A and B are shown apart, each in its own frame.
Chain A
């Protein structure tokens, strides 16, 4: 049943051997050792597992690993440049955009992916974009503030 799958994650190749039904999220966590991608619902609503697939934010719980052969995957582990945090990570820290931190990797990848595609989103577009993921701690206020601050820096 298990099949070899080649995943390219944060610029590194991972040759893994998984069942075709294994989700991308589980493959990242169990087979690539990248546990920063979190599972909050496993039915595509909460967005905690958001990763970038060829630049697009996707739910890693709704993809099979085998569908992602030869695609460029980016996860939260690849955001910082060594010790230097990505502007989005820094902004979440400065603006207190996280409490328990469980949803944070998903929000970081969502916002980075969306702003790389469309850097000049206005307030309403940002809010609309952020409404695709769920956070239970912050009430979103500081997440929005962080994304706004990072947007300015990313441009």
Chain B
């Protein structure tokens, strides 16, 4: 049976279609309390007083805490250990003396029902004495807390001989670009429900992404044993990088369950979500290329600023590090230097969002490549082709590290995928048609942007497969699901290995009491890591099944075959045992008679030092309305090589969904702040997600030309490549539509900004080429 490569229907869907899903908000426990946060109304200030008297007196209110009540709880740590220089910037679970952004938790209310909790939270009065604001991450750094600078760190990566290359350059081309502040915004807001079970264990429902890590972190913060904390993941309404990180509210519900000896539930509302859950992006790059007389780029020099917001959360410097590591993308760039400034401001703290660091770095690099092409007076396609890493140099190593691994592109044919894309869109005819339309007065254009993604981050993930006596199969993994189809994908890999239908397989994930180790769902890693572990476990399970069949059928193991869930004798398929029958033979007594461990089960762990590197091209055709500044995407193609697609329908779903998020960041979504640090996008009326009418039908060219040599399935992650180059491709297409090179240097391309560009009155600070 070949299940890998089949677009089977998802195992997850039935309960989600019938209203039987169990998201965090759907779980209730008897006698539960409802938690509500009181959040800072100002962006920066010293707390003079938090008046809780009126709130405490409300009927149904059980407790109200301020910073003083939780001052013994340490701030939330980074997942990566040892970054002591950044410790002063960690967030406490409730503000202690100072508030640093609008939305920062200042006090917390616990009441018998959610409406009362909300009433009580409104009755808490927070008196704050304003402090000076920092809202511009590119301005001169100031003081964070009297001791530490708002420039938390300067990170650097370099290789080759950058200075020499720039000195010797025939041309130097520079651009200065900005990617706005936007983020994941899953449709389910965050939520958690904590309870203390009769065993004394603290259980938290509503976990996601990294349950095993968070279990340990919660235990450490609350001073209890890790084995007394259990995290349970239910259905998860979208992750995109932001959900499942350890936030103040997660710790507060757990602490309250312990202190108040009641179950405690918290469901974030949307207004809170937009000021409390991680923001992302918001980078400003000054980037230059040294170009030799042949038009080859010999060196890149980049300097960038990251608006980290008010605290450094669980990711620490992950996003700037990924930005630096992935900026070179598919090009040779023999010398490279980048310097990143991690700046604290008085905005909601930032973390990862789908294609973190890559959406930003790809925008900067591809805008630069377009500027180089313009300088050389050639097609942007030619510039890219000349600088690609050739296929015969794969695997290709750069002396850069990302997420603790050396950057080594495992496989790829960059020129090849570009050819496939150009052929797919019939490039010459398309370009001619667009030129014809432009001559007719339309502002239409084509933009192409290349990207390299990374996926399958290790160092390990495991899978345990168990078959019961009726042949039902259960796979347990420490990975997590945020709604992307993990159960189906893993079941397909398991079913493929065992020759049984995927719908006979149940996949258990995100339960810290089901398996001791698990790293979770991020970095497009689950199919690569858990998928490979599952594949390896099917091989172990096959060995054990054959050992039993050897005893029972009295045939040497090499004469046995595992076919469609049965172990049969080669050449005599009537002599066979089903996996269920074998499991029955492995009941403890008969198992010991055969000298085998009981249960038909196998466990495997896949470990790896290297990530896999999928890659692709985005192509956009847009038309611009010069009157309104509106951009209509007429056509959008994503060519993406994922090595091998386990379920092409699901992979395409990831790409199209990722593209919609790329579109949001390119044209619509932005967290704007007023001059006094008030967030202006706190509802879906102001923070604009793409709807069905803004979205264009994405034409997906799903390729499997470069399987990964790093795992036996050849798979690479598919989660992020729909997003990565979207902004860069749209910007190039708008430039082309306006016949105005370097017109777009900032995302999102809002109608207001585009009108200013068209009418030539864009404020000077951003002006395209930098000195």
By a beta-carbon cutoff of 8 Å, the part of chain A in contact with chain B is 19, 21-22, 26, 29, 34-43, 45-46, 48, 75-77, 79-80, 85, 89, 92-94, 96, 98-105, 108, 127-128, 130-144
Q: How many residues of B contact A (CB 8 A)?
A: 56
Judge whether B660 and A140 touch: CB under 8 Å.
Answer: yes
Residue B10 at the chain A interface, CB threshold 8 Å: yes
Judge whether A105 and B657 touch: CB under 8 Å.
Answer: no
Assembly CA distance A141 to B186 (angstroms): 18
Assembly CA distance A99 to B722 (angstroms): 15
Would A143 and B270 be within 8 Å (CB), given that A76-B19, A101-B21 are in contact? Answer: no
Residue B693 at the chain A interface, CB threshold 8 Å: yes
A155–chain B nearest beta-carbon distance, Å: 21
Judge whether A128 and B693 touch: CB under 8 Å.
Answer: yes
Judge whether B656 and A139 touch: CB under 8 Å.
Answer: yes
Contact of B237 among A34, A79, A100, A130 (CB under 8 A): A100
Assembly CA distance A111 to B272 (angstroms): 29
Would A99 and B115 be within 8 Å (CB), given that A41-B683, A139-B660 are in contact? Answer: no
Contact of A127 among B17, B20, B660, B693 (CB under 8 A): B693
B748–chain A nearest beta-carbon distance, Å: 17
Contact of B187 among A34, A96, A103 (CB under 8 A): A103
Would A41 and B684 be within 8 Å (CB), given that A46-B187, A77-B19, A101-B12 are in contact? Answer: yes
Assembly CA distance A79 to B12 (angstroms): 18
The majority secondary structure among interface residues of chain B is loop
Judge whether A35 and B485 touch: CB under 8 Å.
Answer: no
Closest to B12 in A: A101
Closest to B243 in A: A100
Judge whether B238 and A45 touch: CB under 8 Å.
Answer: no
Judge whether A99 and B692 touch: CB under 8 Å.
Answer: no
Contact of B684 among A46, A76, A99 (CB under 8 A): A46
Q: Which of B197-243 contact A (CB under 8 A)?
A: 235-240
Residues of B within 8 A of A127 (CB): 692-693
Residue B695 at the chain A interface, CB threshold 8 Å: yes
Q: Which of B663-715 contact A (CB under 8 A)?
A: 683-685, 689-693, 695, 697-698
Contact of A131 among B235, B483, B692 (CB under 8 A): B692
Judge whether A37 and B19 touch: CB under 8 Å.
Answer: yes
A23–chain B nearest beta-carbon distance, Å: 10
Judge whether B689 and A101 touch: CB under 8 Å.
Answer: no
Assembly CA distance A35 to B693 (angstroms): 29
Assembly CA distance A108 to B271 (angstroms): 25
Judge whether B187 and A100 touch: CB under 8 Å.
Answer: yes
- 20 further A-B contacts with Cβ under 8 Å, apart from A100-B188, A105-B19, A137-B187, are A36-B20, A41-B684, A46-B187, A76-B18, A79-B19, A85-B18, A92-B17, A93-B9, A96-B10, A100-B187, A100-B236, A100-B484, A101-B17, A101-B21, A131-B693, A134-B684, A134-B691, A136-B185, A140-B691, A144-B692
Closest to B691 in A: A131
B270–chain A nearest beta-carbon distance, Å: 4
Residues of B within 8 A of A43 (CB): 270-271, 683-685
Residues of A within 8 A of B649 (CB): 96
Judge whether A143 and B17 touch: CB under 8 Å.
Answer: no
Judge whether B13 and A98 touch: CB under 8 Å.
Answer: yes
Contact of A138 among B26, B270, B657 (CB under 8 A): B657
Contact of A139 among B18, B21, B684, B695 (CB under 8 A): B695
Residues of B within 8 A of A102 (CB): 21, 23, 186-188, 235, 237-238, 483
Q: Residue-by-residue, is B705-729 near A (CB-CB < 8 Å gives 1, otherwise 0)?
A: 0000000000000000010000000
